[in-house]
Amino acid sequence: MTITKYQTKPLQCWQKAKELRLNYFKSVMNAKRDGKLLAMVDSGSFLELPAGLGDDYIPFEGHPYGASVGGDPEFSQKCVEATEAKGFARDMCAYTRNFWGSMFLNEYLYGGEFPKGEFAIWRSACESEGKFYQLVAEHMGIPGYALDFPLLPGQEKDEDVIEYVVDQLGACIKWMEKVTGRKYDDEKLLKAANNHFESTRIWAEICMLNQTIPAPLDQKTIYTLYFPSVALRHMPETLAFYKEVLAEVKDRVANKIAALPIEQCRLWDDGIPPWYFLGLYRYLEQYGAVVLGSQYTYALHGAWEDYPDGSWGPARLPQERGMRMKTREDILRAIALWYEEKPMIRAMALPEIKSRQLLRIVQDWHADGVMMHSNRGCPGLSFGQVENYLALQKSGIPTIIYEGNAADKRELSEAQVLDRIDGLMEQMGIRKLVGL
């Protein structure tokens, strides 16, 4: 068997991605000192909504913070134990337990006391998400606003859902004006929304480029690159960053610069990774296995659209679809639609929706196999996973599920995960690269 060796080199934008992430967490830490408006906003929520209150708005988002704590096992253990000491169950969402524990201990991962926002906004895409910030607002003694975000299994966009979400967003704006005493500026909302639309669309374009053989990016790298699409998608810096990333990845594709020097097989990933054990991706490199991405990295906030001709790809911007963006209601409508179309959200409506997405992804990204993380405590991303596994197996796609936890190291056996990976490689006839 001939093994092709590709040219590879580090990403030039790598450092910028790291800086964006660190600066964000520092800005949260220093918000009070700098006189900024810090709001507790869950990352799945309508991040851009408080932007109309002023340019000094900074969101403190629970899930990215919970994941970051998970990447520091020693601090994470302190946090989850602090949460469990309050009587909360060990099998609850680990992002929540990390965030809450850090809050209860009044210790921030990046130093100092735990930052306190002026108000909180959250939504209900999963039960944990709905309950997470309820307690945050209570513990901090700040006003909170919950939003209902319906998941309907139909393939067609439901105008009633859009209208319902728009009504709630409009009411939330009035509520924010009341609790902050600030006047809301629709122009600022429009700018934040446009940043969100365009940056998440470009992120989808970047992910599309990973269909190329050899893949220009691997999942380990993508974890760093996707962060702004989650936590900072409303910011102009994010849009500028993704334009740079897109140009660089296009260049890598044109020049066949690969993520890995040897690409023996291509894998698709499912679920949230164990953040404290990203070494599993290094282990896969020993097999020349490139992990192409996951719905979590591509589509948690990446913007995708099913085109009328049956194909799919990066979502067209509201303006490109002829949507008016003149009034507040127009902007809110575009925002509601943008969230409603997110494939990750739609996948949580019925397992068969995600199975269809997975089969299409495996084909379009030329994946040879799939590995799934059954993440204890995350009913949202475990929804339908066993049915998805069956659908993949039925289609002849080698697939494994390993059990673990995204952000609680106590819940995962590294040896067992690596054994599973070895099993998958054996099933696919892939051997470790020795001496290449």
Partner 1 sequence: MTTSFQNVIADRHKYARQWKARTGGKVIGYFCTWLPEEIVYAAGILPVRILGSHEPQEMAERHISSMYCPLCRDCLAQGLSGKYDYLDGIIGPFSCLHIRQTFASWKTHVPLEYSYYLYVPTIGHHAAAKPFWVKQLTKFKASLEEWTKKPITDDDLDKSINVYNTNRRYLRQIYDLRKDDFPPVSGAECMEMVVSSQLADKAEHNVWLKSAYHEFSTKKERKDPGIRLMILGSENDDTEFVRLIESLGATVVIDDHCTGSRYFWNYVMPKEDRLSAIASRYLNRPACPAKDITQERRRFKHIPKLAKDFRAQGAILIQQKFCDPHEFDIPPIKEILMKELGIPSLHIEMDIVWPLGAYQTRLESFLEMLQPALV
Interface with partner 1 by CB under 8 A: which residues? Answer: 86-89, 91-93, 122, 124, 126-128, 130-131, 134-135, 137-138, 143-148, 150-153, 160-161, 163-164, 167-168, 171, 348, 350-352, 374, 376-377, 379-380, 382-387, 390
CB 364 within 8 A of CB 331: no
**Shortest Å distance, C-beta 395 to partner 1:** 15
CA angle at 195 for the pair 191 and 198, rounded to the nearest 5°: 135
Count Cα atoms within 13 angstroms, Cβ side, for 206: 30
User: In this complex, which beta carbon is closest to partner 1, that of residue 108 or of residue 122?
Assistant: 122
Of 212, 253, 244, 135, nearest to 367 (Cα)? 212
* Largest pairwise CA distance in the chain: 70
Shortest CB 174 distance to partner 1, Å:
11
Angle at 60 between CA 55 and CA 65, to 5 degrees: 145
Measured from the CB atom, the residue of 203 and 389 that comes closer to partner 1 is: 389
CB of 374 to partner 1, least distance (A): 6
Distance CA 433, CA 436 (A): 6
CB of 93 to partner 1, least distance (A): 7
* DSSP codes of every residue in 178-231: HHH-PPP-HHHHHHHHHHHHHHHHHHHHHHHHTTSSS-S--HHHHHHHSHHHHH
If you search the block for the tokens 């709630």, which residue do you land on? 168
Structure tokens at 241: 């960053």
Among residues 244 and 387, whose Cβ is nearest to partner 1?
A: 387
Tokens found for residue 365: 């990204």
Between 279 and 379, whose beta carbon lies closer to partner 1? 379
Considering the complex, state which of residue 122 and residue 276 has its C-beta at the smaller distance from partner 1.
122
For the bound state, the minimum distance from the C-beta of residue 304 to partner 1, rounded and expressed in Å, comes to: 22
Integer-rounded Cα Rg, in Å, for the chain is 21
Task: Find all residues with CB under 8 Å of 296, minimum gap 6, and list them.
Answer: 269, 270, 271, 272, 344, 381
- Shortest separation between residue 221's beta carbon and partner 1, angstroms: 29
Residue with tokens 């495996």: 362
Closer to partner 1 by CB, 144 or 369: give it.
144
The distance of closest approach from Cβ of residue 165 to partner 1 in the complex, given in angstroms and rounded to an integer, is 8
Is 332 in contact with 166 (CB distance < 8 Å)?
A: yes
Could you tell me the smallest distance in angstroms from the CB atom of residue 158 to partner 1? 9
Q: Nearer Cβ to partner 1, position 87 or 322?
A: 87
Query: CA–CA separation, 163 vs 337, rounded Å?
Result: 10
Residue 391 or 424: the one with the smaller Cβ distance to partner 1 is: 391
Provide the minimum distance between the beta carbon of 334 and partner 1 in the complex, in angstroms, as a whole number. Answer: 18
Tell me if the bond preceding 214 is cis, omega within 30° of 0: yes
Cβ distance to partner 1 smaller for residue 219 or 382 = 382
User: Residue 220 half-sphere exposure, CB side, CA atoms within 13 Å?
Assistant: 16
